[in-house]
Amino acid sequence: MESHSQNNQRALSFAGGRITPLLVVAGLTLLVLVPFAGKPFNMDDPVYLWVARHILQHPADFFGFNCYWTYTEKPMHEINMNPPGVSYFIAPIIGLFGEREVPIHLALLIPAVAASLGGFYLARSLCKRPLFAAVLSIISPVFAVSGTMVMSDMLMFAFFIWAIVLWREGWEHRDSRALALGGLLIALAVLTKYSALMLIPLLGIYSIFHARKIDVRLLYMVIPIVLIAGYQWYTHHLYGKAMLSEAGNYAMLSNWRENHGFITRPIITLGFLGGCLAPVLFFAPLTWSWRVLLTSFCAAFCGAALVTALHRHVTPLVMGADRVHWGLLAQWAVYIMGGILLCLAVLQDIRRNRDAVSFFLFLWIAGVFSFAAFVNWTVAARNILPAAPAMAILLVRRLDETGQEEERLWRIAWPVIPAAALALCISWSDYALAGINPVAARKIAAEAKKANAENVLFYGHWGFQYYMEKEGAKPVDCEKPSMKNGDWVAIPENNTGVVESPSPWAVPIFTLKVPGCSWLSTMQYNVGAGLHSSSFGPLPFVFGRIPVSSIRVFQIHTGESGT
């Protein structure tokens, strides 16, 4: 392995010797994310905002309030299966600027830049082109999209990557301060998102493998364990439930509701790996032979066909009433092929190097894959995010293995351009999807005002709920519905927690159609796109003709005082 100074020289040459690699990494991160700083809140963003709002008034009781999110009003500690770390980060921003999109998104650029810099520092000791690896991580679709959301993932990712950097630094140089700080960052990562628990076995096993024994320095791992145990005790004291254990129980109970989940979930996860870490696909012609590529695609196509046959929600997407959707199946096979190639790269790296680094990268990818496929309640892009630096490092190491280390950079770096273009297209599509909600809420509120409708109710959640409530509408409590004569009820088509009709006395008034991206979708059940949850579709994103989002509006007509 080359020295740090040699690696730095290589990184500087990549930038043309004019600016430092750190500025390149930070600048590229901002270039990818700043254009979307005005993105409306969407998906589960409102939950984190509501917790942050509550923290401003009750900082020690973060989940101590009720809200409507899952069909009926419930305590927040029964709704939010994530720790409050990012809400504490957001709370002072809301206190200063209010719940405004731009200030909150700009504040979340701080952890995004920190995560990118951490990826660069880590890559310096694991591959020969650290800046190249950092660039590949940043232009991954999962990084670009996660960096535009107001959820826990990017802040957790920053803690996650720096915990690895500091723990490895402390372990290899016997630096107790770095080990202690690394242990603290592990705890902060877990208290931002529970999936960061994988850091404890990941770094623990790596440390034992590196030292070839159980070393006394492993006692520093007690720091995160004690802090996490303290959080367990505190949440049990506040809410009668240890929140980490509760989240684990929820995930395990929800995980296998799908038919043949033990077969379908790993294949779907491979597709998310390949799509969300798309540089693997764009660099495939440079890193693998055509025989391997053809074999991988055939295996991926068979995997997609198997899920289509076994999964009752996927079958009608691919096997239409009158024809097979070969384009959708081919896209899906390409994404799965990317996941297969990433797994092959891990195994090839171990076979070639047989060292602590290759074993560490294997554990890293395996941990992310296992959590997404077998632990979490759904497969989602945000669960793939921690694998982005590992993917980039493996890709650079793979390029070196194939004898392209001394090639001119432009001859091996050209796939960066289409990979970056794809990431930006996906971010823009998700931005357009989020933009549907405030537009729809304003238009429905305006029409209701013209018609002198006294109450506007709605079904659905995510960003639609947030902006409808902002316009004064109220969610329908499915367990205690209360609709009066003349009430308006809005039901979005592409959402969760919706019904076909709100009441036997409901009369359709109009259907509002709000266009998003017409050729690329990140979340639409009727085309199979499920970037934020595979329960909406087995593909992370879908190219094709995307239907316009519809919101149906009804009016209650009955002589009774309520229904």
Considering only CA atoms, give the Rg of the chain.
24
Neighbours of 252 (CB within 10 A): 13
pLDDT higher at 483 or 58: 58
Q: How far apart are CA 544 and CA 520, in angstroms?
A: 6
Q: What is the pLDDT of residues 139-197, one digit of tens each?
A: 999 999 999 999 999 999 999 999 999 999 999 999 999 999 999 999 999 999 999 99
Q: What is the pLDDT of residue 19?
A: 62
User: What average pLDDT is seen over the chain?
Assistant: 89
CA count, 13 A, side-chain hemisphere, 54: 19
Dist. CA 263–CA 254, nearest whole Å: 16
3-state secondary structure of 276: helix
Residue 251 has pLDDT above 80, yes or no: no
**What pLDDT was estimated at residue 171?**
92
Name the DSSP letter for residue 486.
T
How many whole angstroms separate alpha carbon 418 and alpha carbon 401? 23
The residue among 128 and 402 whose pLDDT is bigger is: 128
For position 453, what pLDDT does the model report? Answer: 86
Query: Tokens in use for 90?
Result: 């957001």
Answer whether residue 556 shows pLDDT above 90. Answer: no
122 falls in which pLDDT band (50, 70, 90)? very high
CB contact set of 236 (below 8 Å; sequence gap of 6+): 242
Whether residue 121 is predicted with pLDDT greater than 60 in this model: the reply is: yes
pTM: 0.91
Give me 488's structure tokens.
């308006």
Tell me the two tokens of residue 532: 């934020």
Residue partners of 347: CB distance under 8 A and separation at least 6: 362
Sign of the torsion formed by the C-alpha atoms of 80, 313, 387 and 249: positive
pLDDT in tens, 439-490: 999 999 999 999 988 899 999 999 999 999 999 999 988 777 778 888 899 9
Q: What is the average per-residue pLDDT within 483-509? A: 87
> Does residue 352 contact residue 401 with C-beta atoms inside 8 Å?
yes
**In the predicted model, is pLDDT for residue 252 greater than 80?**
no
SS (H, E, C) 293-342: HHHHHHHHHHHHHHHHHHCCCCHHHHECCCCECHHHHHHHHHHHHHHHHH
Which of 157-166, 261-270, 554-563 has the lowest average pLDDT? 554-563
Predicted pLDDT at 403: 62
The stretch 281-288 carries a mean pLDDT of 93
Average pLDDT of span 52-61: 95
Query: What's the confidence (pLDDT) of residue 1?
Result: 40
Residue 119 and residue 390: Cα distance in Å, rounded?
9
Check pLDDT > 80 for residue 562. no
As a whole number, mean pLDDT of residues 367-384 equals: 91
Spatial distance between the Cα atoms of 346 and 362, rounded to a whole number of angstroms: 6
Q: How far is CA 432 from the centre of its chain?
A: 17
CA distance 150 to 101: 9
Q: What is the pLDDT of residue 10?
A: 42
CA angle 492, 498, 503 (to 5 degrees): 100
Under 8 Å between Cβ of 443 and 551? no
Residues 380 and 534 sit within 8 Å (Cβ to Cβ): yes
Q: Give the per-residue pLDDT at 7.
A: 44
pLDDT band at 16 (very low <50, low <70, confident <90, very high): very low
pLDDT digits (tens, 9 = 90+) for 66-114: 998 877 889 999 888 899 999 999 999 999 999 999 999 999 999 999 9
Q: pLDDT digit string (tens) for 189-235?
A: 999 999 999 999 999 999 998 888 888 889 999 999 999 999 999 99
pLDDT score, position 255: 54
Check residue 339 and give its pLDDT: 97
CB 348 within 8 A of CB 366: no
pLDDT band per the 50, 70, 90 thresholds, residue 508: very high
Residue 405 pLDDT class (50, 70, 90 cuts): low
Q: Is the pLDDT of residue 560 over 70?
A: no
State percent of the chain over pLDDT 90. 69
pLDDT at 341 over 70: yes
Pairwise CA distance, residues 343 & 365, whole Å: 8
Please report, rounded to a whole number, the percentage of residues in the chain having pLDDT higher than 70. 91
425 or 403, higher pLDDT? 425
- Band the pLDDT of 499: cuts 50, 70, 90: confident
**What's the mean pLDDT in 305-321?**
82
